[in-house]
A and B are shown apart, each in its own frame.
Chain A
Amino acid sequence: MGILEVKGVNKRFGGLQALGDVNLSVKENSVHAIIGPNGAGKSTLLNCLVGKLIPDTGSVMFNGQSVLGRKPYEINQMGISRVFQTPEIFGDLTVRENMMIPIFAKRDGAFRMHAIKDMMREREIVDAADHMLEEMNMADKYGMHAASMSRGDKRRLEIGMCLAQEPRLLLLDEPTAGMARADTNNTIDLLKQISDQRDITIAIIEHDMHVVFSLANRITVLAQGTPLVEDDPENIKGNPKVREAYLGETA
Chain B
Amino acid sequence: MFGLNKQDTTLLIIVAILALFAPFILNPFPEGSALAQFNAGYPDLMQRFVIFGIFAIGFNILFGLTGYLSFGHAAFLGVGSYAAIWMMKLLTMNVIPAIIISVIVAGLISFLVGWISLRRSGIYFSILTLAFAMMMYQLAYSDLFGQLFGGVLTGGETGLQPKVSDPRILDAALAEGATPKAHLFGLEMGASHKMNVGAWSFTFNAGYYIAAFAMLAAFYMSIRIFRSPFGMMLRSVKSNQHRLNYTGLNPKPYTLAAFVISGMYAGLAGGLLVAMDTQVGAERMFWTASGEVVIMTILGGAGTLIGPVLGSGLLKYMENILSKINKSVLESWFSFMPDGMSDFFIAITNLFVGKQWHITTGVIFMLVIIFVPGGLVELGKRIGARLSRKKEPNNTDGSAKPEPAE
A97 to B242, CA, bound (A): 16
Taking CB atoms, residues of chain A closer than 8 Å to B246 are 50, 72-73, 76, 81-82, 84, 88
Residue of A nearest to B4 (CB): A118
Q: Give complex CA distance A106, B230 in Å.
A: 15
Q: Is the CB of B248 within 8 A of A119?
A: no
A contacts with B, residue count (CB < 8 A): 42
Binds A, one of B41-49, B231-239, B314-322, B355-363: B231-239
With A88-B242, A91-B240 in contact, do A97 and B224 touch (Cβ < 8 Å)?
no
Cβ of B250 within 8 Å of any chain A Cβ, yes or no, is yes
A196 within 8 A of B: no
Task: Identify which of A6-14, A107-115, A218-226, A228-236 touches chain B.
Answer: A107-115
B218-253 contact mask (Cβ, 8 Å, vs A): 1 or 0: 000000110111111101101110111111111001
* Interface members, chain B 155-184 (any A CB < 8 Å): none
Kindly state whether residue B257 has any CB partner on chain A within 8 Å.
Answer: yes
User: Which residues 1-20 of B have a CB within 8 angstroms of A?
Assistant: 3-5
CB of B200 closer than 8 Å to a CB of A? no
Cβ–Cβ < 8 Å partners of B230 in chain A: 112-115
Nearest-Cβ distance from residue B302 to partner chain A, whole angstroms: 12
Cβ of A189 within 8 Å of any chain B Cβ, yes or no, is: no
A120 to B224 alpha-carbon distance, docked (Å)? 12
Bound form: Cα–Cα A163–B246 in Å: 13
- B5 to A76, Cβ gap below 8 A? no
Are A105 and B248 also in contact (CB < 8 A) when A90-B236, A93-B235, A113-B257 are?
A: yes
Contact between B249 and A105 (Cβ–Cβ < 8 Å)? yes
CB neighbours (8 Å) of B227 from chain A are 118-120
A-side contacts of B4, CB under 8 Å: 118
Give the most central of A76, A100, A108, A111: most B CB within 10 Å.
A111
Given A76-B246, A161-B247, verify A122-B229 contact (CB < 8 Å).
yes
Which chain A residues lie closer than 8 Å to B257 at the CB level? Answer: 113, 115
A101 at the interface (CB under 8 A from B): yes
Contacts of A72 in B (CB 8 A): 245-246
Is there contact, CB below 8 Å, between B250 and A111? Answer: yes
The answer for the CA separation of A93 and B230 in the assembled complex, in Å, is 14
A94 adjacent to B224 (CB under 8 Å): no
- In the bound assembly, the distance between CA atoms of A93 and B233 in angstroms comes to 10
Contacts of A104 in B (CB 8 A): 229, 232-233
Q: Known: A88-B240, A88-B242, A93-B239. Contact between A118 and B250, CB under 8 A?
A: no
Q: How distant is B67 from chain A, measured CB to nearest CB, in Å?
A: 10
Q: Scan B200-213; emit 1 where CB is below 8 A from any A CB, else 0.
A: 00000000000000
A106's nearest neighbour on chain B, judged by CB, is B248
Report Cα–Cα, A51/B229, bound state, in Å: 26
**How many whole Å from B304's CB to the nearest CB in chain A?**
13
- Nearest CB of chain A from residue B154's CB, rounded to whole Å: 33
Q: Is B328 an interface residue, CB under 8 A from the partner?
A: no
Once the chains bind, are B238 and A92 in contact (CB under 8 Å)? yes
The one of A81, A94, A101, A105 in contact with B395, judged by C-beta atoms closer than 8 angstroms, is A94
B247: contacting residue among A93, A114, A120, A165, CB under 8 A: A165
Select which of B231, B243, B253 is within 8 A of A111 by beta carbon. B253
Partner of B228, one of A105, A109, A115, A125: A115
* Bound form: Cα–Cα A73–B247 in Å: 6
Q: Is A33 an interface residue (CB 8 A)?
A: no
Flag if A114 contacts B236 (CB, 8 Å).
Answer: no
Chain B neighbourhood of A143, CB < 8 A: 395
**Does B254 sit within 8 A of A, measured CB to CB?**
yes
Beyond A82-B246, A105-B249, is A119–B240 a contact (Cβ under 8 Å)?
no
A92 touches B239 (CB 8 A): yes
Whole-angstrom distance between the Cβ of B261 and the nearest chain A Cβ? 8
Give A158's nearest chain B residue, CB to CB. Answer: B243
Chain A hits for B5, CB < 8 A: 118, 120
Query: Closest residue to B396 on the A side, CB-wise?
Result: A94
Query: By the criterion CB–CB under 8 Å, are A118 and B3 in contact?
Result: yes
List of B residues within 8 angstroms of A94 by Cβ: 395
Q: Tell me if B228 and A116 are in contact (CB < 8 A).
A: yes
A119 and B243 form a contact (CB under 8 A): no
User: Is A77 close to B, CB under 8 A?
Assistant: yes
8 contacts between A and B (CB under 8 A): A50-B246, A76-B247, A92-B235, A102-B247, A104-B232, A106-B248, A112-B229, A114-B230
- Chain B residues proximal to chain A, CB less than 8 Å: 3-5, 224-225, 227-233, 235-236, 238-240, 242-250, 253-254, 257, 395
List 4 tightest A-B contacts by C-beta distance, closest first: A76-B248, A115-B230, A90-B239, A110-B250
Chain A residues with CB under 8 Å of chain B are: 50, 71-73, 76-77, 81-82, 84, 88-94, 97, 100-102, 104-106, 108-120, 122, 125, 143, 145, 161, 165
Given A73-B250, A89-B243, A118-B3, 6 other A-B residues pairs in contact with their CB atoms under 8 A: A73-B249, A94-B395, A105-B248, A109-B248, A118-B5, A120-B227
